[in-house]
Structures are given as structure tokens and as C-alpha cells.
Amino acid sequence: MLWETFNVVRDLPRLHEITSILIRYGMADVVRALGIGTLLERAGRLLHWKAQSDVMHLDAPVRVRRALEELGPAFVKLGQVMATRVDVFPPNWIIEFEKLQSSVPPVPFESLLPQVEAALGCSPHDVFLDLQTDATAAASIAQVHHAKLADGTPVILKIRRPNIRAKIDADLRIMMHLARLVEFEIPELRRYQPVQIVLQFTRSIRRELDLAAEARNIDRFAENFAGSDTIVIPKVYWEWTSESMNVQQWVDGVPGNNLAAVEAAGLDCKLLGARGADAVLKMIMIDGFYHADPHPGNVFYLPGNRVAMIDFGMVGRLTDERRNQIVNLLAALSGRDDEAMLDVLLEWTGDAVVDEAKLAADVSEFVFNYANVPLRDLRLGALLGELTVIMRDHCLVMPSDLALLFKALITLEGLGRQLDPEFDMVEHLTPFVRRVITERYKPDALLKRGRRSLHDLLSIATGLPRDVARLIKEVRRGKFKIDLDLKRLERFSHQIDHSVNRLTLGILTASLVIGSSIVMTVKGGPTLFGLPLFGLLGFVAAFFNSVWLILSIWRSGKD
């Protein structure tokens, strides 16, 4: 608690800056609800509580997006993570979050030179030839410079911005503090799970800060596509790679967002779309390790209709269990099995409180709408979109790894359609689903699952006597405890609180009636209309208390 207080005091200047920006974009009510404004005013940092008149006519998603842009790199990255949470935010919010770009002006190379020299142990000019001091690309975390190795091989140096870690650490502390306040102080925003989103973002951005981790991702993808002649993964030069800088092979190709150049180069757009989709689906369904942001800016097209991918800072991992759940979902949809689909959704949502009857009805209607649609005619993006709408309507939040996967699949389908208007995502997905199902029932897979089940069974059997003995000892020592997690306990406690308050007021009202009746029989003292004043006031107070009690009971019965 003392350490958190110290952090808040240390981050007061940045907190004041964040709060001022939020107020300026019309979010003063949120600041007041969180109590941050009061904290800053007590610290002597007075706030202007008026929003800019030129932004108040904008929709809330636009104002939030513009506020995030002004708040800086860490908040822009947070917005990009929120753009993956299609299960949490409605489409109009997702559209605005997707507009957030992490492109920022590059810093001068002289500012990068000290950390580059520390990483290399010497001057970069002693290692690289033709080192371009002007950045060819710049983002919020790192920027890229072109160079050549001593043998003339063209490479890029991806260099982390100076002092970026300290700035991001400060923003992460503030984000987590604000997220906890939002969950505690603003119940209507609790459904968005701000703490979980900040935790997901924290893991993501810490991985991106470590440029050596990105290099390890590249090597793993290169290993997974080692036998491919159509997919190109840049080579990493580990001799000069570190946490603050990595050195990669320069991919000289046509950018994926320049379709005119693709056609001018004589490349086959339809074949490129098919190969790119198959590559990402292999990452997801076979390897379980995939590029989580396959948008056109991260793809290059090379002669021979080859596809190259770059920027592996954001990746996703899919466990065997998750992969099987995806397959079960598709199988339930194609088999019109709404109960099986409901089981998958409930597995994803964990222990969340849900009206299963209503959810089952919505899932049944969803399956019915696709009942007569052949698998090849399904549009995966639309299907996943409707599925996330169902989850959002029931206030269900899927695990972050699945949200990232859904976003990657929707982005991939958009990339394929950009290259080929007739692109069919499900047609490319179907062979991988069949392969997973086939592998599920191979003898070695069955044997592996059987061994695991047998091992679990033996572990339970052998551990049972020890667990029973411990339980008996706990009972003998009087340390046996039962923890009950009662759903809706908070609402129940509020109901008890209101009932006790009404009961107390009822007793006081009865006391007033009895006391006033006694006072009425006593002669002397001030009078009003010929009646004892205090007795009369007691009856009036008892009357209003009775009216309040009746209205309160009537309202609670109506609720």
C-alpha cells in the first residue's frame, strides 16, 4: 500500500497531464467519478473542468480515440489492443480503435547512438557499411535504419527509442491504477473488464519492448517454414542483436498495401492471397504459433509470387485445447449442433454468471440462420462478428488469446479479399480443420491421450489416501474450513442492508408514536392549536416516516 502511494505521488505530473487531456475531450464525468480530480486539486494541481467546444459534437468513440492519440505511444498501443477485443467493444468503437497508428516522427540517430554503441560494444560505423542515419520507418517503440554488412548483404537495424522503457513503465502504473478505480467506482464500465485489458496490454507491450524476443519469434517462424519455397521469413543476425536492437535481413519486395505496384510487377493477386492465407492458417491450426497482425503493411510480395512477412512483435499462441475448441465450434456449426456450440462458448467464458436458457436460445437461432449454408459459402468474418455480438449481449468476455485469434482471422480475410474479391476464407480453412480432426484420431494421438488420462487417474488414486489423511488431521485440529463463493452475494447484502434500515426506521416511528401519545397526556409546556407542541411534532415526524416506509416497500416490491 505504501509503495502504491509512493508511485502515485511520483507519477503526479503525468497523472495531471492524462487527466487534463481526458477533461479536454469531454470525459470530466469519468475523472470526477474516479476521484482523480480531487486528488490533483489537493496536490495543488488545479484543473480546468471545461471540455473543448470543438470536440463535444464528436461521437464518444472518436473523442476517446483522439484522446488516446494525444496521450502518447503507450496509450496508442493500448487502443490497438482494445481494437482486438471485438467481444467487448461494439463495432463503432472497434472502427475508431483500428484508426490508431503508432507511426510517429523518428528521433535523430545521434539520440540512438549511445545505446547502439552499448549493444554492439563499438561504433555501429565499424560494423555496418552505408548506415543510413535517416530512419526509413518509425513507430512508437522502435525505428528502422538501413545498412549493409561487411560482405554487402543489405540489412535493417530495428532500434528501440531511447528512455522508452521508463516512460512506458510509468504509464503502465497509471493505467493499472485507473483501471482498478474504474472497476471499483463505475459499475457500468465494469463489464469492459478494464483490469484484464490492461494486463493483456502489459504483457503485449513488454514483449514488444524486448527486440531480442521479436528476433526469437522470427527464428521460430523461419523454422516452421523451413521447407517452403513460397513463404519468406527474414533472417536474424544474432551477432549484433540484443534487447534494444535487432538486425534482420532486408526484404526487398512490393508492399502489400500497394495493389497497383503488385499488378505492375506482373504478380498473380489470386495466388498471392491463397498462399498468404494458407501460411497464416498453418501457423494457427498446425503450428499453434501465429503472426497476430497480418495486415497489408506487414506483408511484402516477391518475384515468383512469394509472400514475405515482417514485424513479428505481436504474435499469438494457440494451445492444443484451444485449437480443438475452434474445430469443435466449426464442426458444431456445420452439423447444426447448437448444444455442442453452447458447450464451447461456456468453456470460453469460464465462471462468468450467465443466463444459460437465453444464451442457448440465441445460439440456437444463430445455428439455425446458418443451417442451410454450405461450409464453403460461409463468410468467416461475418460469422465471428455475429458470435462476438452474442457474447457481448450476454456480457461474456472471451479469453484474450481467442480475441487476438478472432481479430487475426478477420484481418486475414480482409487481406485475402483485397487481393481477390472472390477469396473464400472457409475454403482455405476446411483442409486444415480436416487435418486436425484426422490427427485427433490417429493411433499415436489416441495412445498419447490414453497415457495422459491413465497418468491423471493414477495420480488421483495414489494421492487419495494422503489427501484423506490431511483432511482428517485438519478436522481434528479444528482447522477445517469451507469457503463458499455465493453468486450475487453483493446484491443480497444490499437487500439485507435496506431491510435493516427499514426495520430500524419502523421501530423509531413506533417509538415516536408511543412517545408522542405519552406527551399528549402531560399538561403544561408549549402548545399549538391547543395541543402539546412536542407531541404534535412527534406525530408529524411519525407520519412522514410511515409514508417513506410505505413508498420504499412499494418500490422494492415493484423491482
Q: Which residues are known to be catalytic?
A: 293
Provide the β-strand partners of residue 371.
Answer: none
- Alpha-carbon gap, residue 253 to 304, rounded angstroms: 11
Per the DSSP assignment, residues forming a β-bridge with 191 are: none
Residues in contact with 129: Cβ distance below 8 Å, sequence separation at least 6, in sequence order: 147, 148, 149, 150, 152
> 262 and 272 in contact (C-beta within 8 Å)?
yes
CA dihedral defined by 363, 387, 199, 142, rounded to 10 degrees?
Answer: 170
Count of CB atoms situated within 10 Å of the CB of 84: 29
What's the CA angle centered on 125, arms 119 and 130, to 5 degrees? 125
Residue 548 vs residues 125, 135, 288, 515, 543: alpha-carbon distances, Å: 83, 72, 63, 20, 9
Compute the Cα dihedral for 441, 447, 450, 456 and give only its sign. Answer: negative
Q: How far apart are CA 178 and CA 194, in angstroms?
A: 9
Cα 272 from Cα 253, distance rounded (Å): 13
| Cα 225 → chain centroid | 29
Q: CA–CA separation, 123 vs 195, rounded Å? A: 43
Beta bridge partners of 532: 527
- Do the Cβ atoms of 231 and 187 come closer than 8 Å? no
3-state secondary structure of 308: strand
Write the CA distances from 189 to 35, 58, 194, 403, 409, integer angstroms.
Answer: 15, 20, 8, 19, 28
Q: What is the DSSP letter of 335?
A: T
